[in-house]
Amino acid sequence: MLKKLRVALAWIFWVGITLLFLDFTGTLHAYLGWMAKVQFLPAVLALNVGVIVALVLLTLVFGRVYCSVICPLGVFQDGISWLRAHRSKKPFIYRKGMKALRYGVWALFVIALVAGVHVFVTLLAPYSAYGRMVQNFLQPIYLWCNNLLATLSERAGSYTFYDKEVWLRSLPTFIVALVTLIVVGFLAFKGGRTYCNDVCPVGTTLSFLSRFAMFRPVIDHDKCKHCRACELHCKAQCIDIGKDHEMIDYSRCVDCFNCLEQCKFGALEYKYAWSATKNAKNVALEPENTVSATNNAENVALEEKEPKSRRAFMTGTALAVGAAALKGVEARAQEAAKKTDGGFANVLPKQAPKRVTPITPPGSKSVKSFYQHCTACQLCVAECPNDVLRPSGRLDYLMQPEMSFEKGFCRPECTRCAELCPTGAIQKITKEEKTQYHVGTAGVNVDLCLEATGKSPCGKCAEVCPTGAIAMVQQGETRRPAVAEEICIGCGKCEYLCPVRPISAITVNGKGHHI
């Protein structure tokens, strides 16, 4: 019964969060946005006290149900474990947790969080790791299906579905997501909740509380026949049944309740555990000397795997950065205009200019604050209706979003990323506030500018600037745009609509402090 409840709730959260990442129309976040906001790390970064207290209490009362229900990466791993159960008959066997790795990673994570080593934090944040996988692998499929429906819809003369471009936003992030998928997937297939219990810093944080949980699965020593049915089905590998002892490592138990329905002798019960029974007392301790010889070998094997997986992450990242540097969009030569009627002039795709300071979304207060809070979950990237946001390729902010204007600009009526962001990296703002939110400043490259070089009359940037920050000023023979730095808000409309391609003659550079 408890397991069914857990599975049902897990499905709801998992489907909800996945849909949240898939939806690009901005309709679902009104209903599902809270599912991202109750994620542990985002709530901590957003200083969302209500959610933190609720999650702490939840864990203190019921144990790590967070890991089994709310965390989408946890549920994803359960899915893999389920596949394993159907594919191979190999049971789970108790193993001692890898404390050094677990606490080592946790300590490094906390230091990284405080010191601002963003890459390390975003790499391990479980909800964000899941978000990246959905955004990189599932959303394209979702969009292709949508585009198929859009084609059919177009033929039927309906506007229900409309086309949405599918494009690779960042190769490094794609590779990191791929490596995450492979590593977490492999670990889940091999050892159930290995990632959650030996690596995940959120899992470790919650484990500090869960070992004192009010309700826990408890083994009744008198009833236990030591058949090991529960141990063999424990995907957290935290139940140890010996010849004459039985023990559950509550720091690693994620309250999936799989064990409960395995016990044929009624020895396992999820119950109030604060009445200090001898069983409870027995098992509240960390197991030190109860590991059987057979399990040792597996431990060693797994311990070897762990560092490897971390190395794999790092290697993947390094490779990805290298690839990004090599990647250059080939410029197609513009065809000479014909003197006949019809046809189109070739339009080169835009390329992002070098921006000394990255541009972060309106609502992020400052570049520093934004990157301190963001866990790189890609929710804003997946939802941005103007294709402005994409994961950064800079090493120090790898995978965390930045703005760029090759496919659109930050439209004045849109505040969607601010509504979505679960970490408080982008704080809620109104459309009115956005009109004054100074995220960057435009600068002119007169060597490229059509008017300044006398190639063609233009003045597009001055014409379209929503704040009137750009004026065309006479300089000798020609005119050129000039930007009033304090009036410019950095929305990127001028850069996006500048006819000069592939790199615009007017480009926006980020502003460190927005307000």
| Interface positions with another protein (CB under 8 A) | 154, 159, 162-163, 337-347, 407-408, 411-413, 450, 456-460, 463-464, 497, 499
Give 266 or 342: the residue with its C-beta nearer to another protein: 342
Nearest distance from residue 167's CB to another protein, in Å? Answer: 13
Give 324 or 348: the residue with its C-beta nearer to another protein: 348
Distances from the Cα of 208 to the Cα of 127, 203, 223, angstroms = 19, 9, 29
Give 162 or 208: the residue with its C-beta nearer to another protein: 162
**Could you tell me how far CA 407 lies from the centroid of its own chain?**
22
Instruction: State whether the Cα torsion 183-251-192-35 is positive or negative.
Output: negative
Nearest distance from residue 150's CB to another protein, in Å? Answer: 8
Question: Which among 186, 43, 212 has a CA at the least distance from the CA of 128?
Answer: 43
Nearest distance from residue 346's CB to another protein, in Å? Answer: 7
Q: Which residue has the tokens 């059919």?
A: 152
φ, ψ for residue 152, nearest 5 deg: -65, -40
Give 91 or 457: the residue with its C-beta nearer to another protein: 457
Give 200 or 449: the residue with its C-beta nearer to another protein: 449
Helix (H, G, I), strand (E, B) or coil at 112: helix
* Residue 51 near residue 38, CB atoms below 8 Å: yes
Distance between CA atoms of residues 170 and 197, nearest Å = 30
Nearest distance from residue 457's CB to another protein, in Å? Answer: 6
Question: Which among 378, 373, 398 has a CA at the least distance from the CA of 172?
Answer: 398
Nearest distance from residue 163's CB to another protein, in Å? Answer: 7
- Region of residue 449 (phi > 0: left; psi between -120 and 50: alpha; otherwise: beta): beta
Give 386 or 427: the residue with its C-beta nearer to another protein: 386
Give 200 or 458: the residue with its C-beta nearer to another protein: 458
Distances from the Cα of 281 to the Cα of 108, 204, 275, 285, angstroms = 31, 21, 9, 7
Instruction: State whether the Cα torsion 440-441-447-449 is positive or negative.
Output: positive
Q: How far apart are the first and last CA of the chain?
A: 53
Give 1 or 344: the residue with its C-beta nearer to another protein: 344
Give me 259's structure tokens: 């064990």
Nearest distance from residue 442's CB to another protein, in Å? Answer: 17
Give 116 or 457: the residue with its C-beta nearer to another protein: 457
Distance between CA atoms of residues 404 and 390, nearest Å = 8
Give 144 or 265: the residue with its C-beta nearer to another protein: 144
Give 165 or 244: the residue with its C-beta nearer to another protein: 165
Nearest distance from residue 389's CB to another protein, in Å? Answer: 17
Helical segments of 88-160, H only: 99-115, 118-124, 126-133, 139-155
Distance between CA atoms of residues 49 and 82, nearest Å = 35
Question: Which among 344, 195, 334, 220 has a CA at the least distance from the CA of 271?
Answer: 220
Helix (H, G, I), strand (E, B) or coil at 185: helix
* Residue 205 near residue 109, CB atoms below 8 Å: no
Nearest distance from residue 453's CB to another protein, in Å? Answer: 14
Nearest distance from residue 341's CB to another protein, in Å? Answer: 5
Give 434 or 438: the residue with its C-beta nearer to another protein: 434
Enter the DSSP assignment of 99.
H
Distances from the Cα of 227 to the Cα of 85, 240, 246, 270, 289, angstroms = 19, 11, 10, 19, 20
Nearest distance from residue 136's CB to another protein, in Å? Answer: 23
State the DSSP H helix or E strand holding residue 390, giving kind and residue range, or none if neither.
strand 389-391
Nearest distance from residue 344's CB to another protein, in Å? Answer: 5
Nearest distance from residue 38's CB to another protein, in Å? Answer: 31
Give 163 or 261: the residue with its C-beta nearer to another protein: 163
Q: Which residue has the tokens 């080593």?
A: 117
Distances from the Cα of 290 to the Cα of 245, 248, 294, 353, 359, angstroms = 8, 11, 12, 60, 54
Nearest distance from residue 347's CB to another protein, in Å? Answer: 4
Cis? peptide before 361, omega within 30° of 0 = no
Enter the DSSP assignment of 337.
P
Helix (H, G, I), strand (E, B) or coil at 106: helix
